[in-house]
A and B are shown apart, each in its own frame.
Chain A
Amino acid sequence: MEQTTHHQHPSPEPASPNYTTPAGMRREEFRAMGTTISMLLPENQLEMGAEIVRALFSEWEQALSRFLSESELSQLNQQPGKPVAVSNLLYDVLATALNAARTTEGVYDPALLEQLEQLGYDRTFDDLPINRFDPIIPGEPGGRWRGIKVDPIHRQVTLPTGIKLDFGGIAKGMAVDAALENLYQSGISSAMVNAGGDLSVLGLPPSDEQWQVAVPGQKQYWTIPLHHGAIATSGIAHRHWQQGNLLRHHILDPRTGLPAQSDLWSVTVVADRCEQAEVAAKVAFILGSKSGADFLHKHHIAGLFVHEDGTWETVEPWPIELMEEVSK
């Protein structure tokens, strides 16, 4: 059953806790891919490192944004049924997304843009009106990503008629991973890149043995130490809107083609790479607390589930003994 609420939205990005900057590092922020990109870089490499990250996110946004009509992704979405030669960047992101879809048996689905637009999310989230009065649609199940034809030799992609790609979070996660890799190849050995809550770290802070990371709860947040790897959180507290009298949000369940009816408020996971963390958090959220926990167990991914009522539970190997609770 869909929820009927009286939320006022679009909501801004949630307020962050007060962050401290590790000694010997500097913080930089900019907007890209519809969110805030923040980074921590060594003081003496700030300028070079920030430029590397900015350039990468700019390139990725230009190629992969569904909100830019001239982007390569938008061009591909407008040519269903025929093979289209694509860049290595788009090809790699698509290949990764299809791999994620296969591994999750379709619970992660990169081809639900038609459904998302029909639900009202047809412009950037910042531009969404408080209420949409589009006709309510019944929802069309996903799974049609299986019909996407990929030619790895000629780097050509053929989309089936009637589907559009939306890489969304996985592209952000991959961009974070790629940014850190570019920083590393440029001689930077300590950095953190955070794209709207999907973050990954490189090395350790110059003066510390870990990265202290805040994880959101409903009325509190926790800190956990991150030694290496990535963290991502998925939930509907931020990106939701009204369609008529129905609450809509951006996490669709491919089994229905409608916003997921989860018993969870948020899912936070820790994984080796940001792209993995992003997909795992989303899939666990869609599956709900029981099946979501089974899914994380199966893939040895640590998770923190926050329920609608504010209670929480963890999935091993979440570092529950290292969590510190801080009131908001």
Chain B
Amino acid sequence: MALLNVILLFRMEIELETNPYEYNKTPPMASQQNQLYQSRPAEAHNKQFLESQNQQLPQRSAGQKAGTQAKMPKARALDLANSLKRTLAVASIIGFGMFGGLVAMHQVSTTSSQSTQSTSGSSNTSSSSQNSNNFFNQQGGNTSGTNNTSSTPVTGTSIS
């Protein structure tokens, strides 16, 4: 997760550096749409309404230059992106740290649980099957002997 965030941030940074002016470009589609709007009386009315609304909004100070007005959003956007990048980087590091901590705590608790189960005084009762859902979990190959030795048994199983 943290790695993904870092990769996205780097991609964002590369795009900003290679297309520094893309923010201010008006998409060609937008002008066509405006032309379409102008051909419709009702939409023209809406445009007038929007212009009147814009006039009521606080206007830029009179001393501001037109060129400055065009570059400011890009600078602010870059500042915002950098700020966001730093925030995400810090959050990623913290998140990664928390995740690692949780994994470590889980391992510790599992280990302590197992060690508790295997301590039973002088009798060691550790059983492979106890930690398995399948009681008969088999490794196989128990009788992989040969028949070239004496058939006299050393012990025997008997009916119990």
Contacts and interface: CB of A to CB of B under 8 A. Distances in A.
* Chains A and B form a bound pair: yes
Interface of A: 13-14, 16-22, 35, 38, 40, 55-56, 59-60, 87-89, 92-93, 95-96, 99-100, 102-104, 169, 172, 174, 177-178, 181-182, 185, 192, 194, 196-199, 205, 208-216, 221, 223-239, 266, 268, 270-273, 275-276, 278-280, 299-302, 317-319, 321-322, 324, 326
B159 to A, nearest CB: 4
Contacts of B59: none
Nearest 9 pairs of A and B residues by beta carbon: A225-B145, A214-B156, A229-B142, A197-B158, A210-B145, A88-B120, A214-B153, A103-B135, A299-B136
A13 B138 contact: no
B12 to A, nearest CB: 49
Nearest to A326: B151
Which of A88, A96, A301 neighbours the largest number of chain B CB atoms within 10 Å of its CB?
Answer: A88
Nearest to A277: B157
Interface of B: 116-117, 119-130, 132-147, 149-160
A249 to B, nearest CB: 11
A301 to B, nearest CB: 6
B130 A92 contact: yes
Chain B facing A: main interface SS? loop
A271 B143 contact: no
Contacts, number: 220
Contacts of B121: 59, 87-89
Given A88-B120, A231-B157, A212 B127 contact: no
A275 B127 contact: yes
A214 B145 CA distance: 14
Chain A facing B: main interface SS? mixed
Nearest to A267: B159
A38 B121 CA distance: 23
Given A210-B149, A212-B150, A301-B138, A178 B123 contact: yes
B46 to A, nearest CB: 69
Contact of A273 (B119, B124, B127, B145): B127
Contacts of B151: 212, 223, 324, 326
21 contacts: A88-B119, A103-B135, A172-B160, A178-B126, A181-B124, A194-B156, A196-B158, A197-B159, A209-B146, A211-B155, A213-B157, A216-B159, A232-B157, A235-B160, A271-B138, A273-B127, A276-B138, A279-B136, A301-B136, A319-B143, A324-B147
